[in-house]
Chain A
Amino acid sequence: MRRWRPKLSAEFLQWYGLGGAALVWAAQHVLGYGTTVARCGAGGVRFGIDLHTWELATFATALAFVVAAEAAAVLTVARTWGVEHDGPPPEGRRHFFALAAVVGNLLFLVIILLSGLSTISFDPCGQA
C-alpha cells in the first residue's frame, strides 16, 4: 500500500521561502502595533485587552511561520542542489532565490525574536 505524502509544489516552496518571512514580520509588526494602540489608547482601555497574551500568541505564530519559510527555502536549495545559481530557469532561478531566502529568513527570524521578546518583557503602556 502506498503511503500518502503531502505534495508541495516547487513553485509554492520557492515563493513562500522567499517572501513568507517578510510578510510574517510585517503582519506581526502591524498586528502588534494595533493591539498596543487598542490596549493603551484612551478609547481602548475599557475593553480590557490582555496585551501580553496577544503579543505572545502573535510572536509564537510568527515564529512558526518564519521557521516554515526557512524550511521551505532549505528544501528548495536541497532539491536544486548541483544547479548553478545563474543556470537556466526554472531550476537556476529557484536555486538562486532559495540561497538568498535562506540568509534573508535568518535575519527576519532575529528581527521577530528581538521585537517579540521585547514586547512581552516590557510594560505595554509605559513611556518609551
Chain B
Amino acid sequence: MSSGAVAARTRVAKPNGWWGMLLFVATEATLFGTIFGTYYYLRFTNAHWPPRGVPEPSATVPLVLAFVVAATSVPMWMASRAARGGALVVARRALMLALVVQAGFFAMQVSLISDDLDKFKPQGSAYGSIYFTMLGAHEAHVALGLLLDVWLLGKLARGLTNYRIVATQSIAFYWYFVNLLALLVVGAQLSARI
C-alpha cells in the first residue's frame, strides 16, 4: 500500500472527493425532489390516477427489485470499509458482488419499462409523462453508478492508493443515495394503487 493510502486510512476529516460527491448528490436530490413533488401534485389533483385506460402498476416485482438493489448498500459499505482498512481483495469482491446485483436490477428495470411503454406512452397523459420521467431519471442514475463501479474495479485491479480509497468511499456514498431513491421511486409508483 502506498504512503498516500496510509494517510487516507488515518485521516480524520472527510476528503475533498467525498465532499464533492456530497454536493453532487445534493444537486441530484433537488432534481428528484422536484420530480416527486410533481408526481404527488399531479396525483392529488387528478380524480383518476392512473387515468382511465392505463393499467395500475404491478406491485410485487418492482417492490422486490427495489429491496434487492437497496440491499447492495451493504456490499458497497463493506467495499468502502475494506478499502479504508487496506483489504484490497475484500474491497474488490464486495464491489463485484454489488455490481452483479445492480446490473441485474438495471436489466430487469429496463425490461419492465419497455413492457410499460407497450401499454401506455409518456406523451399520452400527465401520468405517463411523470411515470416515465421518474423511472427514466432513476435508471439513468443506476447506469451512471454501474459505470462508476466498472471504472473503480479497473482502478482497484492495480492496487490501493489514496485516490482509489477516496473514490471507493465516494462511489459507495453515491450508491446509498441511488438505493434510497429506488425505495422512494417504488413507493411513488405503488401509491397509484391506493
Contacts and interface: CB of A to CB of B under 8 A. Distances in A.
A87 interface: no
Interface string B23-63: 00000000000000100110111111100000000000000
Contacts of A37: 40-41, 44-45
A6 interface: no
Contacts of A43: 43-49
Contacts of B49: 43
The number of chain B residues touching the other chain, given as a range, is 10 to 19
A42 interface: yes
Nearest to B48: A43
A34 interface: yes
A38 interface: yes
A114 to B, nearest CB: 24
B48 to A, nearest CB: 8
B39 to A, nearest CB: 12
Contacts of B45: 37, 41-44
A44 B49 CA distance: 10
B57 to A, nearest CB: 16
A88 to B, nearest CB: 20
B52 to A, nearest CB: 13
B128 to A, nearest CB: 16
A43 B39 CA distance: 12
Nearest to A46: B47
Nearest to B46: A43
Interface in A30-64: 34, 37-38, 41-44
Nearest to A35: B44
Contact of A38 (B40, B46, B47): B40
Interface in B72-102: none
B82 to A, nearest CB: 30
A117 to B, nearest CB: 25
Contacts of A42: 44-47
Interface of A: 34, 37-38, 41-44
Interface of B: 37, 40-41, 43-49
A-B complex: 5 closest residue pairs judged by Cβ atoms: A41-B44, A44-B44, A41-B45, A42-B47, A38-B44
11 contacts: A37-B41, A38-B40, A41-B44, A41-B45, A41-B46, A42-B44, A42-B45, A43-B44, A43-B45, A43-B48, A44-B45
